[in-house]
Amino acid sequence: MESDKVSYKLLNEIFLCISQLARSVPLGGEDYIRMVFEFYNERVFL
């Protein structure tokens, strides 16, 4: 169970960094990254 907490925290940090990077991408980079995250979360955590 402790490894799950570490995994979630690590994924959260990765998602935060990528989303900050996506904000600097023109032409809807942030929306694209959000869509990828939603797809990834459905596949991995459900």
Q: What is the pLDDT of residue 35?
A: 77
User: In this predicted model, what pLDDT tens digit does every residue of 26-42 receive, in sequence order?
Assistant: 666 677 777 777 777 77
pLDDT at 46 over 60: no
pLDDT band at 15 (very low <50, low <70, confident <90, very high): confident
**Averaged confidence pLDDT in the chain:** 73
Q: Alpha-carbon dihedral of residues 27, 35, 18, 7, nearest 10 degrees?
A: 180
The pLDDT of residue 4: 72
* pLDDT above 70 for 9: yes
Report the candidate in 21, 46, 45 with the shortest Cα–Cα distance to residue 33. Answer: 21
Where do we find the tokens 């959260």?
Answer: 12
Instruction: Supply the angle between the helices 29-45 and 2-23 in degrees, to the nearest 10.
Output: 160
